[in-house]
Structure 1
Amino acid sequence: MAESSVKASKTFAAIIAVITLLIGLGIGVVAAPAVFPPPEAVTVTETVPTTVPTTVTVATTVTAPAPGLTGEVPIGALLPLSGDLATFGENSKTAAEMAVYEANAFLEKIGAAWRLKLIVEDTATSPDVCLEKLKSLAAKGVKIVVGPQSSAEVRNIKGYADANKILIISQSSTAPGLAIPGDFVYRFCPTDFVQGPAIARLMFDDGISYVIPVWRGDAWGDGLKEATEKRFVELGGVFDEGVRYDPEAKEFSAEVKVLADKVRAAVEAYGADKVGVFYIAFEEVTTFFTQARDYDVLWQVKWYGTDGTALSGALIEDTAAAEFAAAVKFVSTIFAPTKSDKFEKVRSYIKEKLGRDPDSYTYATYDIVWAVTYSLLAVNSYDPEAVKAILPDVTASLFGASGWVVLDEAGDRAFADYDLWAVVEEDGTFKWEHVGAYRYATDSIEWFI
């Protein structure tokens, strides 16, 4: 048997053993920590009979006892508790705290000598602040980090993380340009290579033939706009050059005016029912929509959003912005977690704590903490390189709150369906309603209303 086959067999055997242990303990998630790596190797001599009277000296690797983890094991969390993704960051923080509490209870149950310690830093949805906070975590000895939330933040810290071998596991960074095999960035969400075509299909099947994009000019916005445009044009639609704005902007009067002029011209040429506005934003959506209300023509066409706006608490809490969103049938996409008892447990907990349904990336955050826990059990060392190496094997058998976590060669979630969420008014208040889904396997839209 080839050496690679021997290693694969040993890894598989170890995975099965750990799965059996977890099931025996009543753990409600299938997870597969693999081989505990040897802390050192020694060479021994064996005498092997052969067909001729001789002996053969064979080098064999044996494992010395592993020293094991003890005490508090730090896990960092880079989350936007303020800024344009504040409600998303609050969701993820609550989910991470929930998962750490449960993981520590599990570790106590199995008699482990260590516990997770969560250290949360507020990135303010700022790439520069995010880098500062990562350096702060590194100074505290943190080598494994949950987050950050945005692709612009991930891009800004990636060089430092790679150089210092700090493992970054983002729950929601989707920019296609960050899909790089072998780096120290994993992402438990599908990239915009998947979301872009989903949005294109949504708009095209909704009868839109001319799209005017408006987007924040960062790594995420640029990548998603490009991926969506490519597929929409393939389907036979037309994509306007659109309006790109500074992600640091606090007001959008100039951009809204340009957009209104473009929409007016498109409506005259194609008709209002054939024109759509594709808006790629975070929670600056509230300011943009409030200013868009001043132009009658912007109320006449349909608007489409993304995972940056889906389930935004800030949007439905702003009456003026929410009223506009409901009037223009603003539908936003976000990757669809698999519904299960574990999903419902997390959803119910977050809703009780925060008073709202969490976004999809909240469930991915929860799963990251558990995947890290199982990986640390597997490698038995606070070693980010070892965790990085074993993580894909662990996630391959992990059914978490977000569903099966299958990673591709770049360390990103390989595929997903997408939920469609719309702002609706009910009894004088606004809420998000689950109105449909994009099915990845069939490239099709399913409406629930």
Structure 2
Amino acid sequence: MSQAWKTYTVVALLIGLLLGVGIGWLAKPVQVGITREEYTSLKADYDDLRMKYENLQTELSSKVSELNETKGLIEDLMNALVGAGSEAPIKSTLKGEVKIGGLFSLTGDLATYGENEYTAAQIAAKQVNLFLKAIGANWTLTIVAEDTQTKPDLALEKVESFAARGIKLLIGPLSSAEVRAIKGYCDANKILAISQSSTAPDLAIPGDYIFRFCPTDKYGQGPAIARIIYEDGKRYIIPVTRNDAWGTGLEEAVAKRFTELGGTVLEGIRYAPEAQEFSAEAADLANKVSDAVSKYGADKVCVLHISFEEVNAFFTAASEYDVLSSVKWYGSDGTCASGSMLEDPVVRDFAYKVQYPSTIFAPMESAKWDMVRRNVMKILGREPESYSYAVYDIVWVYALSILKTDSTDPDAIKAVLPDVARSFFGASGYIDLDENGDRKAGDYVIWQIVKTDTNEYVWKVVGKYIYATDSVVWY
């Protein structure tokens, strides 16, 4: 390239540069300032938009939670409806609120059970009402709860109160002593009661207004405990028994089967159900155990303790005697999985030392069983005992019987209830009632207080009695 062309090129570049700068200067936007008022207004608009955005985020999060909860309800209801649909009529003429009376032990000797069972009843009622809405029924089901404190006379008062309010379909009561107290009044006034846990053999009476969704101790828990103790190598039982219909009935059922197996039931102790202090009984028991151990050896002797939650006071007194922790103790459904036993370190440590395996009717594990279990644990933070599942089933069987008869009349419900129960697969499993209106015998789970890897004490299922084979399986 010649020198002239180089010069022309440089000049052209300089001219282009100058022109570009000039055009850029002319084209740049004019800078405009804003007043304080305008700034304040813009900031207010920004803050308003930001708040709306945050509100929308919160609303979205709430909707997502609501959708998840609805999804959970749908899944729960799908599990709940297993075996339920066939009982619904084409059309129900009932309207308004149908009240079911609940006789729950919300305080007193079995408060842990009462809380669990009332919670299960509420879960069932909620799901029943969703079901009723889905099929177009114009009535809803409500649980009206009363606290019996596990006291027979108070249970009767509550039944009379329900009757005065026109409530004649009842859940409960929990104990056999309470059932005994209300039975005459229920029969005379045609009030239907379904107990989830009364097991006394002498209350197995055909044709009355009492149904029981658990087996009697004569054919169920009594033989189960006897087999468990005998299989454990024990040959001598010293019974300590709550002196009421349930306690003595269970003791006699255990004794009968244990004797048949070749064991011996030694003289024991029976105490008043209202007793709250047991120093004399503990001293007497210490003498009896000491004498038996000296004759037969600690590995052959055991204590069978048939109690409600007065177990805490009894164990506190028993912990004062070393000989009483030298033998194994066995419990029953009256104390099985009792939350209060874990709260007192003296009671807990004594129970852990004597092992205290305790039996209770075994519900059939299923998706419905797990659904009830999860929901109760979500509300109460603890594992429900077996009878909570039976309460859940009682609510559903009442609802389906009402649908089947299109009536709340106790006689109408009583007539169809066994068939409805038999066709309904519940949270506790299949419900096959015998001629006395009691559930036929089945398996029993064995609970025991154990220590976890983190040194916490919890109730845990450690085995099962298998009814069909009269055998015990330890986990």
Q: Bin the TM-score by the shorter chain.
A: 0.7 to 0.9
**Structure 1 stretches of at least 4 aligned residues deviating more than 4 Å after TM superposition:** 32-36
Q: How does 1:71-86 map to 2 (within 5 A)?
A: 71-86=96-111
Q: 1:388 aligns to what? A: 414
Residues 79 and 92 in structure 1, CA contact (< 8 A), matched pair in contact too: yes
The structural deviation recorded for 1:172 is 0.6
1:70 pairs with 2:65: no
The structural deviation recorded for 1:26 is 8.5
The structural deviation recorded for 1:318 is 1.6
Looking at structure 2, the residues matched to 321 and 241 of structure 1 have their Cα atoms a distance apart, in angstroms, of 25
User: In structure 2, what residue type is equivalent to 1:375?
Assistant: S
Looking at structure 2, the residues matched to 188 and 254 of structure 1 have their Cα atoms a distance apart, in angstroms, of 37
CA deviations on 1:379-403 (whole Å, 9 max, x unpaired) are 1011001101100000111111111
- Between the aligned residues of both structures, percent identity stands at 57
CA deviations on 1:213-265 (whole Å, 9 max, x unpaired) are 00100010010000000000000000012100000001111111111110000
Corresponding residue SS for 2:255: helix
CA deviations on 1:309-360 (whole Å, 9 max, x unpaired) are 1111111122110111111111000011111111111111111111110100
1:207 pairs with 2:233: yes
1:434 pairs with 2:461: yes
Q: 2:82 aligns to what? A: 29
Residues 32 and 398 in structure 1, CA contact (< 8 A), matched pair in contact too: no
1:320 pairs with 2:346: yes
Q: 1:95 aligns to what? A: 120
Residues 256 and 291 in structure 1, CA contact (< 8 A), matched pair in contact too: yes
User: In structure 1, what residue type is equivalent to 2:174?
Assistant: Q
User: In structure 2, what residue type is equivalent to 1:80?
Assistant: S
The structural deviation recorded for 1:78 is 0.3
Corresponding residue SS for 1:344: helix
User: In structure 1, what residue type is equivalent to 2:428?
Assistant: S
Q: 1:410 aligns to what? A: 436
- The change in CA–CA distance for 1:32 and 1:159 in structure 2 (over 3 A counts) is farther
Corresponding residue SS for 1:413: coil
The structural deviation recorded for 1:434 is 0.8
Corresponding residue SS for 1:330: strand
- The change in CA–CA distance for 1:184 and 1:430 in structure 2 (over 3 A counts) is same
Q: 1:250 aligns to what? A: 276
Taking only aligned residues, the RMSD between alpha carbons, in angstroms, comes to: 1.6
Looking at structure 1, the residues matched to 469 and 148 of structure 2 have their Cα atoms a distance apart, in angstroms, of 38
The structural deviation recorded for 1:66 is 9.0
Corresponding residue SS for 1:189: coil
Q: 2:263 aligns to what? A: 237
Q: 2:3 aligns to what? A: none
User: In structure 2, what residue type is equivalent to 1:159?
Assistant: G
- The change in CA–CA distance for 1:163 and 1:308 in structure 2 (over 3 A counts) is same
Looking at structure 1, the residues matched to 130 and 91 of structure 2 have their Cα atoms a distance apart, in angstroms, of 23
1:187 pairs with 2:240: no
Looking at structure 2, the residues matched to 270 and 424 of structure 1 have their Cα atoms a distance apart, in angstroms, of 28
CA deviations on 1:195-216 (whole Å, 9 max, x unpaired) are 1000000000000000000010
Looking at structure 2, the residues matched to 253 and 29 of structure 1 have their Cα atoms a distance apart, in angstroms, of 51
The structural deviation recorded for 1:415 is 1.8
Residues 91 and 137 in structure 2, CA contact (< 8 A), matched pair in contact too: no
Looking at structure 1, the residues matched to 148 and 177 of structure 2 have their Cα atoms a distance apart, in angstroms, of 12
Residues 32 and 397 in structure 1, CA contact (< 8 A), matched pair in contact too: no
1:124 pairs with 2:177: no
Which structure has the larger Rg over C-alpha atoms?
A: 2
Looking at structure 2, the residues matched to 118 and 336 of structure 1 have their Cα atoms a distance apart, in angstroms, of 25
The structural deviation recorded for 1:27 is 5.9
Q: 1:157 aligns to what? A: 182
Q: 2:191 aligns to what? A: 166
- The change in CA–CA distance for 1:416 and 1:167 in structure 2 (over 3 A counts) is same
User: In structure 2, what residue type is equivalent to 1:442?
Assistant: T
The structural deviation recorded for 1:28 is 2.9
Looking at structure 1, the residues matched to 86 and 414 of structure 2 have their Cα atoms a distance apart, in angstroms, of 12
Looking at structure 2, the residues matched to 26 and 92 of structure 1 have their Cα atoms a distance apart, in angstroms, of 19
The TM-score normalised by the length of structure 1 is 0.86
Looking at structure 1, the residues matched to 161 and 221 of structure 2 have their Cα atoms a distance apart, in angstroms, of 33
Residues 303 and 328 in structure 2, CA contact (< 8 A), matched pair in contact too: yes
Q: 2:9 aligns to what? A: none
* Correspondence for 2:173 among 148, 158, 163: 148
- The change in CA–CA distance for 1:120 and 1:353 in structure 2 (over 3 A counts) is same
Q: 2:39 aligns to what? A: none
Looking at structure 2, the residues matched to 389 and 312 of structure 1 have their Cα atoms a distance apart, in angstroms, of 36
Residues 100 and 118 in structure 1, CA contact (< 8 A), matched pair in contact too: yes
1:398 pairs with 2:451: no
* Correspondence for 1:267 among 271, 279, 293: 293
Q: 1:40 aligns to what? A: none
User: In structure 2, what residue type is equivalent to 1:196?
Assistant: G
Corresponding residue SS for 2:305: strand
Q: 2:381 aligns to what? A: 355
1:447 pairs with 2:474: yes
Looking at structure 2, the residues matched to 34 and 343 of structure 1 have their Cα atoms a distance apart, in angstroms, of 21
Looking at structure 1, the residues matched to 214 and 457 of structure 2 have their Cα atoms a distance apart, in angstroms, of 28
Looking at structure 2, the residues matched to 253 and 32 of structure 1 have their Cα atoms a distance apart, in angstroms, of 56
* Correspondence for 1:220 among 216, 231, 246: 246
Q: 1:13 aligns to what? A: none
Looking at structure 2, the residues matched to 345 and 35 of structure 1 have their Cα atoms a distance apart, in angstroms, of 23
Corresponding residue SS for 2:109: coil
* Correspondence for 1:283 among 309, 320, 344: 309
Q: How many residues align?
A: 397
Corresponding residue SS for 1:272: coil
User: In structure 1, what residue type is equivalent to 2:135?
Assistant: I
